[in-house]
Amino acid sequence: MVYKVVIFGNKSTTTQFIEYIHHQLIPIDLIVSVDKTKYEHSISGFNNVVEFAQSLSIPVLVVNDYSLCSLECKDFFSSNEFDLGISVGWQRLIPQAVLNRFRTGVFGFHGSPGHLPYGRGRSPLNWSVIKGHTRFLNNLFMYNEEADKGGIHSTKAFEINEFDTMESLQYKTVLVGLEQVAGLIKDYRNQSICLEPQRSNLSTWYPKRTVADGKISLLSSTREIYNLVRGVSRPFPGAFLYSADQKKLTIWEAVPFDAFIDTSKYLVGEIIATFGTQFIIKTVDGSILVKKYEYPGVVKKNILFH
């Protein structure tokens, strides 16, 4: 069987790319996605791509092995032919044996605040927000045996502003990513895909983020706490603190409140005041207003979090 255009992905953003590519650019011949029952709760922003693909009558390969190294995966890719692959929301390396089966290659996205290979690795958009960067370079590049190391087809920049959350930033990655995919498909049809080598003299690596990395350090500044909250907000697991009785406070939205109001009678991490469903927590250099959160109890003034 010959599959000319193949999409790899498992997330809500994947469905947006599938719909655009399939209806506006070129027919998709196959979608590769993981088994929902096995991976739904371990992939941030997971979406049932299988059901969506079936609604468009696109064939789907559902795999039980995210690494694509199972015997079933090896047999499938070795016994069929492929041309162009596009990875959107596939958060694993694709084995070289699979990449070798694609005549034109497999392309995917990776971005960072600087030009690759600066900012290779995991969760680059989250890290960019957490570290306070103000721009993001979205690269569409060809996969090879090393993570985020292939030749670049296109790079588009967008702003990370002080109002952005992970939700709004994902909107931006979709907007620029759709433009980049349109350019790739155009070049593919014209058999004119050109790649630029990565030229930066600095190579850095972002480590994988886990749920535990969302723990807020009250030694951090208000700005650092704010960046962490928005850098791990939905669809990611969220930033959090614990009360003295170990109840977990997950903060989905918070903003710096004030740096000059006298809070000397409060401890860092203590609730200064509540206003309806919102409340203010003291920080080392001011205070932060918590606007959206989850907490298994009633939030009251003077509760101390750590």
Q: Return the pLDDT at 46.
A: 82
The lowest-confidence range among 113-117, 164-168, 197-201 is 197-201
Check whether residue 199 and residue 226 sit in a common domain. no
Check whether residue 103 and residue 195 sit in a common domain. yes
CATH code of 140's domain: 3.40.50.170
Check whether residue 173 and residue 59 sit in a common domain. yes
Check whether residue 195 and residue 258 sit in a common domain. no
Check whether residue 16 and residue 161 sit in a common domain. yes
pLDDT band at 41 (very low <50, low <70, confident <90, very high): confident
In a domain, 276, yes or no: yes
Mark which of 206, 229, 254 sits at the end of a domain: 206
Bond into 235 cis (ω within 30): yes
Mean pLDDT of 262-280: 97
Q: Is the pLDDT of residue 193 over 80?
A: yes
Mean pLDDT of 217-222: 97
Mean pLDDT of 173-195: 97
pLDDT band at 38 (very low <50, low <70, confident <90, very high): confident
In a domain, 304, yes or no: no
In a domain, 99, yes or no: yes
Q: Is the pLDDT of residue 200 over 80?
A: no
225-266 confidence digits (pLDDT tens): 999 999 999 989 999 999 999 999 999 999 999 999 999 999
Check whether residue 167 and residue 195 sit in a common domain. yes
Domain encompassing residue 68: 2-206
| pTM higher than the cut 0.75 | yes
Nearest 5°: phi and psi at 179?
-60, -45
Check whether residue 40 and residue 149 sit in a common domain. yes
Mean pLDDT of 135-160: 96
CATH code of 224's domain: 3.10.25.10
> Domain total for the chain?
2
Mean pLDDT of 279-291: 98
Q: Return the pLDDT at 248.
A: 98
Mark which of 157, 182, 206 sits at the end of a domain: 206
Check whether residue 246 and residue 118 sit in a common domain. no
Mark which of 159, 178, 206 sits at the end of a domain: 206
In a domain, 305, yes or no: no
129/150 Cα distance (integer angstroms): 25
pLDDT band at 47 (very low <50, low <70, confident <90, very high): confident
pLDDT band at 275 (very low <50, low <70, confident <90, very high): very high
Beta bridge partner(s), residue 278: 275
Q: Is the pLDDT of residue 44 over 90?
A: no
Strand 2-8 and strand 30-34: the pairing is parallel
- Residue 32 exposure: Cα atoms within 13 Å on the Cβ side: 26
In a domain, 119, yes or no: yes
Check whether residue 13 and residue 127 sit in a common domain. yes
Mean pLDDT of 55-65: 94
Check whether residue 215 and residue 190 sit in a common domain. no
In a domain, 299, yes or no: no
Check whether residue 147 and residue 78 sit in a common domain. yes
Q: Return the pLDDT at 2.
A: 95
In a domain, 300, yes or no: no
pLDDT band at 66 (very low <50, low <70, confident <90, very high): very high
Check whether residue 155 and residue 137 sit in a common domain. yes
7/17 Cα distance (integer angstroms): 9
